Structure 1
Amino acid sequence: MTDHVILLHGLWMRGFALLMLHRRLMEAGFRVHRFDYMSVAATQEQTIGRLHARMRALASENGSVHLVGHSLGGLLALRACLDDRELPRGRIVCLGSPLKGSAAARAFANLGGRGGGALLGHNRALLEYGFDQWTGTREVGVIAGRMPIGLGRVLGQFDGEHDGTVAVAETELPGIADHCVVEANHTGLLFSVETGRQVAGFLRQGRFDRALP
């Protein structure tokens, strides 16, 4: 029995951005699916409704149905699984997701009056403020980057390590199962070899492999 993995991209992206991670998880033995959604135009309810339908459809083939989300995709994965009583079992991995809210998103929303906020779309509040803690039943692992290269350096004031867009501290949500930091910037998390290995390890074991280089 082989587990399924659904990949969710981030803000202003589309599913093709996940191709490298898709290939790495396939090589690790998972059945991988890219979930494409309109990150600005679609409402949260529309996106989560489609995601739930996809998860239930894959559940009919047995095995777990895991979610791996980059940035906004990780936030939406958590939102979708806050109440997962009717969803298939599985774990969640968030890549560079500002689970406690993004200072860069708040700064961007304040640029140009209403225009900045409009570019964050229906997920503006989720991006700006995130969650207070994780209270769902699924095990959640978070991978943060600490290569400080990205647009977020211009928009937000970061305290401590960051990936150029999201601060490591913004990814450290109370209630998650495990957390690790890799040498990558925000977009680079999708291409990092170590990220792929850590994702596969957490999906199998519910923890990250500290022995990985």
Structure 2
Amino acid sequence: MISEQLPQVILLHGLGRTPRSMGKLSQKLSRLGYRVFNPGYNSLLDSYQEILQSLDSKVLDWLNPKQPVHFVGHSFGGILIRGLLARHPEWNKGRCVMVGSPNKGTKTASFMLSHWWFKYFVPKVTSDLTPDSQLLESLPEPEIETGIIAGNVNYSIVIPVSWYYKKATDNAPGDGVVELSNTQCSNMTDFIIMPLHHSFMTWDSELLDEVIHFLKNGHFSEAYQPVTA
């Protein structure tokens, strides 16, 4: 039986990942008394709408509609949050944290699609994540309190995408996949920058503490304030 008192939060991983990438956050939230849903989805082969429809059905089966629901999304997971909230405006009662999400697209996606050695191996939804994406243009921004965390470590020798990041983005400040300025929403509640690479964000203990701080308080801690992108 679902407790009507437990705060509930939905975690959405990024492209090419699995729920394991959100596992550390899931464990921390569970220990704090949150009811956590950490679903998976086929990020490599399915279209955006196929992924969204599958997640929508899973969330509806899990959700307690009597309680507000919070959201945390890493990278593409943040774009899926926007899609879910657009379908369900009645869910606009909780809080949302996006971690390294390409809310305005990323030139990294454009670069990969323009080179034959990348474009045949990238996820199907990569075309929806370019700066001129019709999907991103049409998706409403979240109406709930939204905190955004961006990284500013733009290179990692073990992450191939970041080898091309500087060339793809004209060396724009960013996390090795998404430019800092492209993570932001116009109506975001709070925004911080952390010294992290895109691929390692969800395992960083300090970042997870900031996520939890926002879910509890509607703003990040003073440790990373103020910032300028």
TM-score, reference length from structure 1: 0.86
Note the C-alpha offset of 1:177: 1.8
Cα distance, 1:181 vs. partner? 1.0
Contact 2:68–2:91 under 8 Å retained in 1:
no
* 1:199 pairs with 2:211: yes
Q: Distance in 1 between matches of 2:142 and 2:99?
A: 18
Aligned residues: 211
Change (3 A) 1:195 1:157: same
Structure 2 matches for 1:89-128, cutoff 5 A?
A: 89-112=93-116, 116=119, 119-121=122-124, 123-128=125-130
Q: Which has the larger displacement, 100-109 or 54-63?
A: 54-63
Counterpart-to-counterpart distance in 1, 2:170 and 2:28: 31
Q: Higher mean Cα deviation, 97-106 or 23-32?
A: 23-32
CA contact 2:194–2:224 (8 Å) conserved in 1 = no
Counterpart in 1 of 2:144?
Answer: 138
> Following the alignment from structure 1 to structure 2, what is the Cα–Cα distance between the partners of residues 7 and 152?
25
- Equivalent position to 1:70, from 74, 88, 93: 74
Shift of 1:51: 2.4
Cα separation, 1, equivalents of 2:48 and 2:172: 31
In structure 1, what is the equivalent of residue 194 of structure 2?
A: 182
Q: Structure 1 100/28 Cα, relative in aligned 2: closer, same or farther at 3 Å?
A: same
The residue aligned with 1:154 is: 164
Alignment RMSD (CA, Å):
2.5
Distance 1:198 1:103, change over 3 A: same
Residues 19 and 40, structure 2, Cα contact 8 Å, conserved in 1: yes
1:50 maps to 54
Task: Verify the 8 A CA contact 2:71 2:96 in the aligned structure 1.
Answer: yes
TM-score (norm 2): 0.80
Show CA shifts across 1:47-97 (max 9, x none): 222322333334337432222111111111112212423447322211111
Unaligned 5+ segments in structure 2 are none
Equivalent residues of 1:52, 1:87 under 8 A apart: no
TM-fit CA distance, 1:137: 2.1
Q: In the aligned structure 1, how far is the partner of 2:92 from the partner of 2:181?
A: 30
Identity of aligned residues (%): 25
Deviation at 1:134, TM superposition (A): 4.9
CA distance in 1, matches of 2:95, 2:120: 31
* Aligned AA (1:97): S
The separation in 1 between residues aligned to 2:52 and 2:93, in whole angstroms, is: 17
Aligned-partner residue type, residue 148 of structure 2: V
More helix by share: 2
2:68 aligned partner, one-letter code: S
